[in-house]
Amino acid sequence: METLDKIKKQINDNSVLLYMKGSPKLPNCGFSSQASKALMQCGAPFAYVDILLNPDIRAELPKYADWPTFPQLWVAGELIGGCDIILEMFQSGELQPIIQNATKKN
């Protein structure tokens, strides 16, 4: 499977998907750690892809998303943003209903 097809499939197959460095329980960067903690506090399940174990995705996703950095949060097929946006939305209370609504549909 081509990398771009793999990315599209991951985004389509998961209503909430975090591309990050490491895993939610063992993040490998501070930004990924903060983003995954905010998502976990939303109380809904989410999928993740460790880009350190997937160098092809790490190389291609920024081009596909037109977003240069990681982590990247995708909800219902749409890019929400990176760490700063995730934290701002979480702190304002915007993120929780978006995550809850996305996970209810599946």
Scan for tokens 């209503």, then name that residue.
Answer: 15
d(CA 35, CA 38): 5
d(CA 66, CA 88): 20
Residue list for the binding site for glutathione: 21, 58, 70, 83-84
Contacting residues for 84 by C-beta, under 8 A, at least 6 apart? none
Residue list for the binding site for [2Fe-2S] cluster: 29
Instruction: Dump the DSSP string for 14-35.
Output: -SEEEEESB-SSSBSSHHHHHH
Residue list for the binding site: 21, 29, 58, 70, 83-84
